[in-house]
Structure 1
Amino acid sequence: MQPAVICVPARDERSEIPSLIRTVAAQEADAPIRLVLLANHCRDGTAERARELAAAEPRLQLRLLEVEFPSHEAHAGSARRAAVQAGADWLCELGAHETGVVLSTDADARLPPGWLIANLRALASGAEVVGGRIEAEDTSSNPLPAAIRGMASHIGAYWQAVRALSDSIDPLPHDPPPRHGDHTGASLAVALPWLRAVGGVPPLRSREDVALVEALEWAGARLRHAPDVWVEVSARQHGRAEGGMAAEMRRWATAPADAYHLPAASHWLRLARTRRAIRDGFHSGRLPDLAGYLGLEAASLTRIAAESPNDIACVARVCRLLPTGTAAQQEMVAAMREMRALAEPERVA
């Protein structure tokens, strides 16, 4: 089993810590389970409770960090960056500079017993970063509101249609279907050499996890959305991170599905075809020929092709230069139907 450390930032999460500690300690593994818990400005006894619970779990090795960030750094990005860096340092102490794996999750997560092993298996099969599917808690004791459950189902089907359309045009050998589309800090595994190569988690106020994945793909890392990697998170509608899942769920609670708008099918069709063209141009050595199609300078494309270690990096770097105008919006259900219709002809063509 590859040496691994699970890294969790927490802010006043005393009520959630018991479930986290219990499910981390229950991971199916043939080695001790290493957990870094960073208690960020906690005032509710989160650290004390975590220390007490971990002491009762003989398989769990806990490193507890209690941190008070300066006001300009007191946000989720700084906390996740510090937690992940502590995990990386621990792996280096173990001599696992080349083989170690850093895993990120959240304090309100419940990890299924096979989560750690499934992440390591996906990395061993040819990925450098693995995103896990995020499921909102929906139990008899804490049921998900019907409006949110229904909207989550519709939105999940929409994104499944986006992926199917993309797979029909620009299939990725390292991330084949069936796959999900989540790669957030609630379930993210990164090979240590790649984490160090990109400088760790960007210290952003929000969306630091998205920025980390973008940096990894810029460097050429293969991102796998393994279907057997998933976590459950609390369904609270008042979360700790700005612009996180809680904020999105508040939108779902009041928006009817037949009036909910997301990027149009035409947007995803154009994006998939553009990414396919860039990838083909990289492999054929004719990327500069796409200058007119992409609206970029041939010299820039020549430089990007020369500097990119693989097609993943090339696509990421070229797409960063493309115009980022607001995507046309379309009613969600109509967009989903159109994408499903588009995917089959593209697959046959």
Structure 2
Amino acid sequence: MHPRDETDDRPALCGVLVVVPARDEEAEIAGCLGSVATAAERVELPVVVSVVLHRCTDRTAEKVADVAREHANVHWVTVASEAETLGGARADGADAGRSHEALADLPPGAVWCASTDADSQVPPAWLAEQRVLADRGLDLVLGTVEPREDGSPSTPYWHAPHHLTEGHLGVRAANLGLRLSAYDDAGGFPDRDEGADVHLVHAVREIAGLPWTSTDRARVVTSSRRQGRSSRGFARFLTRLDVAVAAFGASPDLQDRLRSQLLQIAEERGAGKTLCPSDAAGVLDPERRRELTPLARAVASTLADEGLVVITQKGVPVDGRTAVGPVRVGLPLAEMR
């Protein structure tokens, strides 16, 4: 899946929508929205920030109001959502934000919709970089995300240099942007907790076949907490990594051996066949296969970011770091390479 060619038939951007879902994020939301406001000041377009209060029970709404008062140059929309899923909450945010008077009369092709998370902070050039790429005729931009450095031995499995690059294939809702026209063509954020971002991106680039690219020029920093807002997602991934690293260490040699074994098994099985990350773990240490599997899954996720393998659940590409339940690893189909 290499980025598609740019096109010259897209309108110039006239406005930007930023969607930020938040669920009981009173400790993180001010830092997130402050960083978004700084990025909005540099994009030189009307910016609407739609903050979704997703079944909040804490003081998140008060924190949002404080930031909005401090940054009056940004158009703020706050929407209370009772959506059953995170994807549904993101969709509520997009619907509310695009209806703001600053964007409502603009054609969808001229509005850029950027997404981040309430426990993340975006760089000052975040929206400006996406605008540059959009004005080259692209409909989708995938950015990179890394956890805040917390000194834990697990972070090398995220900070491995392979996937924080130009042309990566990672999909992170905390750092992506697309035209509203592409969002509409893809059906918006699906009503699901796991993989809503991956499904949206899949619909844009593989089903609709729209032009897209990926970049590391505006990396978002996200929380490295181990207790997330649910038992799912990145916090769960880091917790499992902590346990595995405590048992096996985090040496580059181990990562390289897992990497080689995953690729070897995938090549041996060939296109159309898949493996479980535990298969590679079992070759390296049969007696502790289960304990080693989270490390194998982390390495497989990096390989997927590089486009060397594809991680799926029930045949649908997913992010191996945040997908809940077993995943399969296989070679990319010829048309995806």
What's the TM-score, normalizing by structure 1? Answer: 0.67
Q: Does 1:257 align with 2:257?
A: no
* Alpha carbons 1:152, 1:252 under 8 Å: kept: no
Task: Name the counterpart of 1:34.
Answer: 48
Match 2:140 to one of 112, 121, 129: 129
- Does 189-198 or 322-331 show the bigger shift? 322-331
* Alpha carbons 1:183, 1:225 under 8 Å: kept: no
* Alpha carbons 2:22, 2:51 under 8 Å: kept: yes
Match 1:14 to one of 14, 26, 46: 26
Q: Does 1:51 align with 2:65?
A: yes
Q: Does 1:179 align with 2:190?
A: no
Give, in whole Å, the separation in 1 of the partners of 2:299 and 2:193. Answer: 35
* Alpha carbons 1:84, 1:104 under 8 Å: kept: no
TM-superposed CA distance for 1:29, in Å, is: 2.2
* Alpha carbons 1:130, 1:183 under 8 Å: kept: no
Distance change (3 Å), C-alpha of 1:236 and 1:101: same
Deviations 1:86-110 (A, max 9, x none): 2344475132322111111100111
- Does 102-111 or 89-98 show the bigger shift? 89-98
2:49 counterpart SS class = strand
TM-superposed CA distance for 1:236, in Å, is: 0.7
Task: Name the counterpart of 1:62.
Answer: 76
Give, in whole Å, the separation in 1 of the partners of 2:110 and 2:151. Answer: 43
* Alpha carbons 1:7, 1:36 under 8 Å: kept: yes
Q: Which amino acid letter does the alignment assign opposite residue 43 of structure 1?
A: T
1:93 counterpart SS class = coil
1:148 counterpart SS class = coil
| Percent of residue pairs identical | 24
* Alpha carbons 1:76, 1:241 under 8 Å: kept: no
Q: Does 1:102 align with 2:91?
A: no
Deviations 1:148-183 (A, max 9, x none): 223333xx34657xxxxxxxxxxxxxxxx7333322
Deviations 1:110-155 (A, max 9, x none): 11100001112122234211111001112xxxxx1331223333xx
Distance change (3 Å), C-alpha of 1:39 and 1:207: same
Which has the higher Rg, Structure 1 or Structure 2? Answer: 1
* Alpha carbons 1:24, 1:33 under 8 Å: kept: no
Distance change (3 Å), C-alpha of 1:82 and 1:267: farther
Distance change (3 Å), C-alpha of 1:323 and 1:59: same
Q: Which amino acid letter does the alignment assign opposite residue 265 of structure 1?
A: L
Match 1:240 to one of 225, 229, 247: 229
TM-superposed CA distance for 1:64, in Å, is: 0.5
Within-5 A mapping of 1:319-334: 326=276, 329=280
Task: Name the counterpart of 2:10.
Answer: none
Give, in whole Å, the separation in 1 of the partners of 2:122 and 2:299. Answer: 35
Unaligned runs of 5+ in 2: 1-12, 285-295, 309-337
Q: Does 1:199 align with 2:187?
A: yes
Distance change (3 Å), C-alpha of 1:268 and 1:87: farther
TM-superposed CA distance for 1:45, in Å, is: 1.6
Give, in whole Å, the separation in 1 of the partners of 2:67 and 2:116. Answer: 18
| Structure with more of its chain in helix, by fraction | 1
- Does 259-268 or 40-49 show the bigger shift? 259-268
Within-5 A mapping of 1:305-316: none
Give, in whole Å, the separation in 2 of the partners of 1:245 and 1:334. Answer: 15
Task: Name the counterpart of 2:155.
Answer: 149
Task: Name the counterpart of 2:291.
Answer: none
Instruction: State the Cα RMSD in Å.
Output: 3.2
Q: Which amino acid letter does the alignment assign opposite residue 262 of structure 2?
A: A
Give, in whole Å, the separation in 2 of the partners of 1:270 and 1:126. Answer: 40
TM-superposed CA distance for 1:216, in Å, is: 1.1
Give, in whole Å, the separation in 2 of the partners of 1:201 and 1:20. Answer: 21
Match 1:211 to one of 175, 188, 199: 199
Q: Which amino acid letter does the alignment assign opposite residue 185 of structure 2?
A: A
Give, in whole Å, the separation in 2 of the partners of 1:229 and 1:269. Answer: 34
Q: How many pairs are equivalent?
A: 264
Distance change (3 Å), C-alpha of 1:266 and 1:8: same
Unaligned runs of 5+ in 1: 139-143, 161-176, 275-321, 343-349
Distance change (3 Å), C-alpha of 1:126 and 1:267: farther
* Alpha carbons 2:266, 2:275 under 8 Å: kept: no
Q: Which amino acid letter does the alignment assign opposite residue 329 of structure 1?
A: A
* Alpha carbons 1:110, 1:231 under 8 Å: kept: yes
Q: Which amino acid letter does the alignment assign opposite residue 132 of structure 2?
A: R
